[in-house]
Amino acid sequence: MNQRTSHLLIAGTLASALSLSLVAYAQDEATERDYQVPLPEAPEGEISFQPPHERDLPDNQYGEMVRKGRDLFINTQALRGEYVFNDQNCANCHLDAGRLANSAPMWASFGVYPAYRGKNDKVNTLAERIQGCFTYSMNGKPPEYGSEPLVAMQTYLHWMATGAPINESMPGRGYPKLEETEQGADRERGAEVYAQQCAVCHGDEGQGQKVGERQAFPPLWGDGAYNWGAGMHRVNTAANFIKANMPLGKPYSLSDQQAWDVAAFINSHERPQDPRRRTLESVDETDETFHNHHGFYGDEVDGRRLGDHADFGENPTPLDG
Ligand code: HEC
Ligand code: HEC
């Protein structure tokens, strides 16, 4: 932890202790101290790992649990109303059902947990890491330890990592890191990229597109999108993801500059409130405590302050509940 973070930690903790009643303070400390720290950069090297084929799944209870996990990973909307309160599926950001290299593939993540995460300043198990994506990316409520959805996902990840090394970061993990450009990230230039290359699928208003009841293209902002606490709301993380994965079917077709600009554009729109806001007094405090990174939370854009609202999307879950 660097000095700045540790000051923030102390400031944040003091502020919450002062401003919350004793009962409220007995909430989940881990979630309260959740900071945004990107994944470490994946090592260079050839991506040679191949996850196993589904046709090779054993015909037993383990194989059945893997299938359940895969189904939930692709159609996480099956958990809507219980653990998921936006329109996302895990596979929206972890492409090809979590198999695609450079799209934060699940086979590269299984063996690296438990791991220390700056985001909540403690050692996280894989289950906790998955729970984190439920809280933020899915704007949801994390499934409880030992509950079937969580066991199914862990089993799916375990199976995908068959033959992968333990405790070693593999090439292809996470999203490849883009260097910053001299011109920086500009949302106005990004708006043009978006209109030309993204809106056809994600919609003029970032609302995504449904075919019947099914979400064919995920929303990128608004109530159906990832919330203000999700890793994807950071401009650098989104730029990395976009460069390697978007437009769908045309990876690496955008220039680095276009990827930065369009990431700034989509992430400077409103989305569900950061759930950690429930534990703090104000947007300022949430901004200072948890948003010391490359993002738009708390910034003024087009005359409005982003994140200055009490809209948690459809998520009714208080953090301590
Ligand atoms: C809106 C995009 C998005 C969605 C949806 C999403 N994730 Fe993630 N996930 C990310 C990002 C971004 C990271 C990388 C974290 C970072 O850099 O902050 C990540 C990281 C992870 C990791 C750790 C990877 C590693 O190598 O350490 C796991 C495991 C994971 N997600 C599982 C899930 C599961 C399971 C779901 C569905 C319940 C899900 N994610 C939904 C964006 C998403
Ligand atoms: C041909 C349709 C298509 C185009 C064009 C396209 N996308 Fe996507 N995008 C998708 C689909 C589909 C997914 C979900 C991936 C999946 O489920 O396999 C996705 C996922 C994403 C995500 C993950 C975040 C989330 O909340 O789910 C982001 C960010 C994103 N796209 C940004 C962009 C940007 C920026 C552009 C333009 C440069 C773009 N996309 C162009 C179809 C498209």
CATH tag, 34-173: 1.10.760.10
Candidates 94, 106, 242: which one to mutate for ligand 1, based on the most atoms within 8 Å of Cβ? 94
Atom of ligand 2 nearest to the CA of 238: 29
CA 105 – CA 207 distance, rounded (Å): 25
Residue 35 has a pLDDT of: 59
Are residues 63 and 88 in contact, defined by beta-carbon separation less than 8 angstroms?
Answer: no
3-state secondary structure 235-297: HHHHHHHHHHHCCCCCCCCCCHHHHHHHHHHHCCCCCCCCHHHHHCCCHHHHHHHHCCCCCCC
What pLDDT was estimated at residue 227?
Answer: 97
What CA–CA distance (Å, rounded) separates 161 from 166? 9
The residues, ordered by sequence, that sit 6+ positions from 237 with a Cβ below 8 Å of its Cβ are 38, 175, 231
Ligand 1, atom 23, lies closest to the CA of 109
Q: How many degrees, rounded to 5, is the angle at CA 185 between CA 182 and CA 191?
A: 135
Q: How much distance in Å is there from the Cα of 246 to the middle of ligand 2?
A: 6
Is there an atom of ligand 1 within 6 Å of 283 CB?
Answer: no
Residue 49 near ligand 1, beta carbon < 6 Å: no
248 Cα: distance to centroid of ligand 2 (angstroms): 6
pLDDT tens across the length of the chain (321 residues):
344 444 444 444 444 443 333 333 333 443 445 555 678 888 888 888 999 999 999 999 999 999 999 999 999 999 999 999 999 999 999 999 999 999 999 999 999 999 988 878 889 999 999 999 999 999 999 999 999 999 999 999 999 999 999 999 999 999 999 999 999 999 999 999 999 999 999 999 999 999 998 899 999 999 999 999 999 999 999 999 999 999 999 999 999 999 999 999 999 999 999 999 998 999 999 999 999 889 999 999 999 999 999 999 999 887 654
Q: Whose CA is nearest to atom 16 of ligand 1?
A: 38
With CA atoms as reference, report the closest residue to 25 among 35, 36, 16, 37: 16
Distance CA 259, CA 55 (A): 37
Q: Is the CB of 295 under 6 A from ligand 1?
A: no
* Cα–Cα dist 270/260, whole Å: 18
Domain boundaries, the chain: 34-173
